[in-house]
Chain A
Amino acid sequence: MWQVADAFAIDWQFGGFSQSAILIAVNQEPLLLGNGEGNENAESIEVGVTRGFGDSDVLAYFTAWNRRATDDFLEVPIAGIPSVGLTVEGRILNCALNPSQSGCKQPWSSTNSPFEYAACIGGGCVNWDKTNLGSLAPGPGTPDFWIGLEATCNIYPGSTSPPSRIDTTTVRGIQYRWLGSWSNLHNLNPRPTLGKFPSPSSIHGTDCCNGVVPGTNDQCKQPLDFLYFFNSLTPKTCGTF
């Protein structure tokens, strides 16, 4: 069963924007999805839109990779995307499984890494080769990644820059499952006490493997797709400090 994995963000009720400068650092807690099988704490690749990437003070789209065990991280901005007034789609593509997807390296080479992913927002994608980062995944095409998206506003105390504004962020998550325990979007299990998850009406998805339940040891390589609106459907601006 898929579930929102510890979707805790103390600023969730404010539409994903930090409301207190002093708590900015701990406000940047993304909404993440895990598979409920205890591997939520391994690694993540996520995409999102934020203010202040890389210590800059501009609204920016980003993709990031985190490894919890060693407290390592990499953060990469996604360039070339208009920053405001758009509904954007974020997604993480498993390029090795489906290399023809837009955003994956083209033409695809058979020598490419089996851990090649693309994290995309709108039409902009950044490629990740998990091999080069070291792998905790059990095998090619079994990413066990989370998919998350976040909209934050990282204003430094004393900043005089104008607030950012994100009207609506639509997220389309694509996740692959493997070896038996398969996922059905209808079993998506939000944890409303830990974070704000969209209403079921905003979730759209398809059953894994076209509704066919794989056997215990079968590998299901079909993606789960779903859409949700991040936190708020109404315009938000950064808090004032």
Chain B
Amino acid sequence: MHRSTVVYLLLVLGLALGNEARAEPPDFAVEIEPGLTSRMTPNDVAQVVLSRLAEPQVVVPGAAGVPELVPPAPRILSMKLRSGNPWKTRMVRDDGSVEEIGSDVVWVVHAKGSFVSRRSWPGKGPIVRSSGFYVLDDETGQIIARGTLPPPEPDGD
């Protein structure tokens, strides 16, 4: 994956996030692909992600199959505005027409916090990690993916 584009690095400091759960200073790097404009600001994106991370996770430490974890305070590590959404929903209508749902401009946000999988293996509790990422659709502000591995790069990139 090679990008010929130049990226801009911005250092966002001192965002007033207004949430007591966000204990650590919200400073992080923001990378924006040249030519891209966004509806959401980095502050908007940070608030969505940090709000999610601040919500209680339904994990019972010590319960069968559930690893113990003291989650770190939610903190944004970095975010990137990029083109290409690898997980658009492709709706196939009864008449055979296809509609893609989701925009092409997304925010990929890496963060510290409690990342708990909603799916789990048989006989095993949820996957619990202390860092991961969220992907937000810039157009809707909706979370379109979350996980613990870097999301794939856009096709052909």
Contacts and interface: CB of A to CB of B under 8 A. Distances in A.
A79 B101 contact: yes
Chain B facing A: main interface SS: loop
B117 A5 contact: no
Nearest to B156: A111
Interface in B83-127: 86-94, 96, 98-99, 101-102, 116-127
B59 interface: yes
A28 interface: yes
Nearest to B98: A106
Interface string B52-86: 10011111100111100000000000000000001
Contacts of A125: 89-92
Nearest to A30: B119
Given A75-B146, A77-B144, A124-B90, A26 B120 contact: yes
B92 A102 contact: yes
Contact of B58 (A29, A65, A71, A157): A157
B122 A32 contact: yes
B86 A129 contact: yes
Interface in B120-144: 120-129, 142-144
B35 interface: no
B12 interface: no
A73 to B, nearest CB: 4
Nearest to B118: A75
A127 interface: yes
A150 interface: yes
Which among A26, A124, A134 has the highest number of chain B CB atoms within 10 Å?
A26
Nearest to A61: B89
Nearest to B150: A132
Contact of A80 (B64, B89, B96, B148): B89
Most A CB contacts (10 A, CB to CB) among B96, B123, B126 go to B126
B146 A123 contact: no
Interface in A142-163: 150, 152, 154, 156-157
Given A5-B122, A23-B63, A25-B60, A55 B145 contact: no
A29 B149 contact: no
A65 B91 CA distance: 20
A126 interface: yes
Contacts, number: 160
A102 B91 CA distance: 9
Task: Report, as a range, how many residues of chain B touch the other chain.
Answer: 35 or more
Contacts of A65: 147
Contacts of B87: 76, 126-127
B151 interface: yes
A118 B89 CA distance: 10
Contacts of B90: 103, 105, 118, 124-127
A27 B126 CA distance: 9
Nearest to A10: B64
Interface in A58-84: 62, 64-66, 68, 71-81
Contacts of A97: none
Contacts of B93: 123
Nearest to A34: B122
Q: Which 6 A-B pairs have the closest CB atoms?
A: A132-B152, A74-B147, A6-B122, A73-B117, A64-B119, A123-B92
Interface of B: 52, 55-60, 63-66, 86-94, 96, 98-99, 101-102, 116-129, 142-149, 151-153
